[in-house]
Amino acid sequence: MVKLLAALLVVGSFLFVAPIIESSSGSTEFFQAIGTADAGGGG
Amino acid sequence: MQVAAANRRTRSVFAVGVVLGLIAAAAAPSPAQSRTESREVPSDGGTYRRPLGNDPGTLDPARIGDIYGRSVAQQIFDGLVQFDHTLAIVPALAKFWKASRDGLTWTFTLKPGLKFHHGREVTADDVVYSLTRLLDPRVKSSAADVFSVVRGAAEFRAGRARQVSGFTALDRHTVQIVLSESLGPFVPVLAIGHAKIVPRDVAEAAGDAFGTRPVGTGPFRFVRWDRGKEIVLAANPDYFDGPPRLGRIVYRIFPGEQLDAMYEEFQRGRLDDTPLPNRDYRRIIADPRHVHLKRPTISLRFYGFNTRRKPFDDPRVRQAVNHAIDRSAIIDDAFLGRYALARGILPPGTLGFNPRVNGYAYDPQRSRDLLARAGYPGGRGLPSIAIWSSVKHEGIVREHELMARQLEAVGIEAEFHYLTEWPAFFKRLLDGEFPMFVLAWFADVPDPDNFLSKLFHSESPRNFTRYTNPAVDRLLNGARSDRQVEKRVELYRRAEQMILDDAAILPVWHYTYERLFQPYVRSVEVSGLGDPYIPLRKVWLAPAR
């Protein structure tokens, strides 16, 4: 039981502090970010 | 950890599913792309000849403000990440990245062995330099506000710090970016055209001249720029994603977007693609000898009013002009119905696009009433209005003939001026010299902020109309900082309606990307961001040429 609790504690602390991998080679599909846009002559 | 990433993406996809659906629809395989057949062998080398509507203002990615410079610079430079043809974010110079759980600390690892065109390895120090440069007030980058969330950005811009504390080169190939506040996922910001990585040694030595002698990491390297004539790029054989199939790109410059001249050169076989002129449009698109590519883009073409100058400091005069112009008739008559009427500001496919916005109907009597209420009954006392354009071709001249007639019908006299030297036009536009002007605006991220904050926030350097409305500013500020997509949509829609009610602009159309390609051109990918973002490294010329 003690070993199980210790294991859960380790896993829990790992989840709490571990960084999130945002992407490796896949894509991130989200567009909340703002951009700049470009002007053109309007022809 | 991969599971955590997948869950995070699932939530994100759910939140913006509608937008992505529209973007995906806009990014379906192009006719030119579909002509790639397995029996054909890609041709290595060859020169690709493209028309460019004007001389760019600059080729320094941090300073570019027009689509002409963006079109060229996209081929010369890379960022840490990039948009693919579905507008999803994929790696570019970064091999991978990770974020802290609070979304404030982002760590990017560069791909190994990356080299600039002058042969030096790309390092984390170049990344820190390039991004810091965007925040340098001396550079005057229009992307500075996008990076204002980086820790230490305000102190650096105010001159209280020599470096931006949020940018750190952890080692030769690892960069850490720390934000002062979470901005949703930060990564798409790094895909914008300004956030390209430049070589520190070259950019520092060249100073302002870097914009005329750019050096990047991209699939093509800069060769020369003869103003008013052409810009030449050559293939980068050491490109990290494999050398491009084309040997050279020649951008031939047609100042003032001379569509007829471009098409004539295309017909003579001296260009490999061209925009379409209005003359003989229907015959041209029916011609089976060329590939006709057409799809919607996230853009707006409008007439802006200088809201600080008389008579356009009175919203009733601006509203009167809006009601006086029959935009549908202009699109049908002068442009053969080729563009989508803009009822509001946000284009379809943008988060927050409101199909219920109706804008200003063509209503000459209402226009006359508004003029009378503004103190100009029958147009009496109203000075002649100068309308400026950087473009002059058959279609726009016809448009202006129709506008002059429609304005005259309500008592407004208009005179049209053409300044087809784009850099000069753009400078005078930024200086607020034009009472009324025509302009096109192209998104680089399919977000409403691209249009509403950039064009109408009182503190935006791209607020060409000098429009100021504190209530609109509050809505736009709130929309930027809110993390709930639904709330952002609501705020942007309210802001859009207020701007339309104030008639800061006369929206005309959303562009349909439309271009002819020679039949031997293969693998053209056009996203909703339009022509500047076509990855020319993928294009090749079939042997039948």
Q: How confident is residue B341, by pLDDT bands cut at 50, 70 and 90?
A: very high
pLDDT beyond 90 at B88: no
Share above pLDDT 70 across residues of chain B, in percent, rounded to a whole number:
91
What is the pTM (predicted TM-score) of this model?
0.82
Smallest CA–CA distance, residue B443 to chain A, in Å, is 4
Q: Residue B214: CB partners within 8 Å, gap ≥ 6?
A: B59, B60, B61, B73, B76, B77, B198, B222
Q: Residue B185: CB partners within 8 Å, gap ≥ 6?
A: A22, A28, A30, A32, A33, B12, B99, B103
Instruction: Say if the Cβ atoms of A38 and B422 lie within 8 Å.
Output: no
Residue among B5, B142, B301 minimizing CB distance to A36: B142
Write down the residue that tokens 């952002």 correspond to: B488
Neighbours of B314 (CB within 10 A): 17
How high is the pLDDT of residue B544?
66
How high is the pLDDT of residue A26?
36
Predicted confidence (pLDDT) per residue in B171-190, tens digit:
999 999 999 887 666 788 89
Q: How confident is residue A21, by pLDDT bands cut at 50, 70 and 90?
A: very low
Predicted confidence (pLDDT) per residue in B223-245, tens digit:
999 999 999 999 999 999 999 99
Chain B positions touching A13 (Cβ under 8 A) are: none
pLDDT beyond 90 at B10: no
How high is the pLDDT of residue A8?
64
Instruction: Say if the Cβ atoms of A37 and B454 lie within 8 Å.
Output: yes
- Residue with the bigger pLDDT between B350 and B254: it is B254
Lowest mean pLDDT among B17-31, B261-275, B295-309, B455-469: B17-31
pLDDT beyond 70 at B423: yes
Smallest CA–CA distance, residue B257 to chain A, in Å, is 6
How high is the pLDDT of residue B23?
37
**Chain A / chain B CB contacts < 8 angstroms:** 194
H-assigned helices in chain A = 2-17
Give CA–CA dist B234/B76, Å, rounded.
Answer: 10
How high is the pLDDT of residue B210?
97
Smallest CA–CA distance, residue A16 to chain B, in Å, is 8
Predicted confidence (pLDDT) per residue in B30-50, tens digit:
435 444 444 555 557 899 999
How high is the pLDDT of residue A11?
57
- Interface check for A24 against chain B (CB to CB < 8 A): the answer is yes
Choose among B416, B422, B499: nearest CA to A39: B422
Instruction: Say if the Cβ atoms of B187 and A21 lie within 8 Å.
Output: no
Smallest CA–CA distance, residue A8 to chain B, in Å, is 17
pLDDT beyond 70 at B545: no
pLDDT beyond 70 at A17: no
How high is the pLDDT of residue A1?
62
Predicted confidence (pLDDT) per residue in B483-514, tens digit:
788 999 999 999 999 999 999 999 999 999 99
**Helix, strand, coil fractions of chain A, as percent rounded to 5:** 35, 20, 45
**What ipTM does this complex have?**
0.73
Residues 414-453 of chain B whose Cβ lies under 8 A from any Cβ of chain A: 422, 425-426, 429, 438-447, 449-451, 453
Helix, strand, or coil (residue B516): strand
Instruction: Say if the Cβ atoms of B89 and A41 lie within 8 Å.
Output: no
- Sequence letter at residue B311: P
How high is the pLDDT of residue A13?
55
Choose among B192, B340, B299, B271: nearest CA to B516: B271
How high is the pLDDT of residue B153?
95
How high is the pLDDT of residue A34?
61
Residue B51 bridge partners (DSSP)? B252
Residue B183 DSSP class: -
How high is the pLDDT of residue B319?
98
How high is the pLDDT of residue B220?
98
How high is the pLDDT of residue B187?
87
Predicted confidence (pLDDT) per residue in B131-173, tens digit:
999 999 999 998 888 898 899 999 999 999 999 999 999 999 9
**If you average pLDDT over every residue of chain B, what do you get?**
90
Chain A positions touching B441 (Cβ under 8 A) are: 37-40
pLDDT beyond 70 at B285: yes
Neighbours of B543 (CB within 10 A): 11
How high is the pLDDT of residue B481?
75
Residue among A17, A24, A43 minimizing CB distance to B257: A43
Could you give the dihedral angle defined by the CA atoms of residues B85, B88, B94 and B96, in that order, rounded to the nearest 10 degrees? -140
How high is the pLDDT of residue B61?
97
Choose among B293, B299, B351: nearest CA to B67: B299
Instruction: Report the chain B residue with the minimal C-alpha distance to residue A22.
Output: B98
CB environment B192-213: b (16+ within 10 A), e (fewer): bbbbbbbbbebbeebeeebbee
How high is the pLDDT of residue B119?
97
Chain B positions touching A24 (Cβ under 8 A) are: 95-96
